[in-house]
Amino acid sequence: MAKGRVAAKELKRDPLMDQYLTTRSWVRSRSRPILIALTAAAVIAAAVLITWMIISSRNRAAADSLAEAFKVAEANVSNPIPPNVAGYAFTSEEEKNRKTYEAFEKVAHDYPSYYGDLARYCAATYQLKFEPSKAEATLKDMAQRDSVIAAQARMALAQRYEASGRLDEAITALQQLKAKPGDVAPLLIDLKTAEIFEAQGKVKEAADLYFKIATISRSGGIGTIASTRLAALDPARLDQLPPPEPTSPFSGR
């Protein structure tokens, strides 16, 4: 046999050729299961893509709906309504309050998984102005939940109780809020508590809280209010307050 030539019998025993033939035979015998598996994978991938697109679309729709509700809340009130008014406009505060409530309720109903709690809270704050009992029930329910809006609901309840003369209930709501303030500033809770103490005639309790607030915050809205009320209730304690922080010309204060 000539040098460099491979016999046909040896060619048939080539490992690469054997592997190719074995693989081809395996694929042919299993072509249907493989096709089914590839089809299933394609279907799953398509389902994931479609689900993502639906979620993204609903998220955008929910955000747009919430933004529209806030536009209603910011509407102009004028009677008669001037011509060429941009955006929403109403002839009375009552009409605006009802329409705003309806707009936020629609968001809560249509997109509960996105902005349900926030929309319900906003709706209740406007409902307080024309259906206070129903709004109060909604706020009570929200205040008992473990959600980011629960603290805001407790504060709204305290203000509702104060406005309706139920000062003891207002104090209780504020104490519950203080125990779990969420994103409500603790000094704001103290200020509201001091104001209700003052309304109840509990001058010492109110002055103590005003002094505490003014000690922590000498500047800003809350600190200024506390200092002013302390001056009215117990002016001698003003001298015990720390000096105000120096104002920097670069701080914008």
Residue 52: per-residue pLDDT: 44
Question: Could you report the per-residue pLDDT of 65-92, keeping only the tens digit for each?
Answer: 888 999 999 988 988 888 887 788 999 9
Residue 153: per-residue pLDDT: 94
Give the separation between CA 223 and CA 1, rounded to whole angstroms.
Answer: 107
What are the average pLDDT values for consecutive 10-residue runs of the chain, which has 253 residues? Answer: 51 56 56 51 51 58 88 90 85 94 94 88 94 95 88 94 95 93 92 95 95 85 90 90 63 46
Residue type, 16: L
Beta strands in the chain (DSSP E): 76-77, 89-90
Phi, psi dihedrals of residue 71, rounded to the nearest 5° = -65, -40
Calculate what percentage of the chain has a pLDDT beyond 90. 50
Residues 6 or more apart from 243 whose CB is under 8 A from it? 218
β-strand partners of 77 = 90
The pTM assigned to this predicted structure is 0.70
Residue 252: per-residue pLDDT: 46
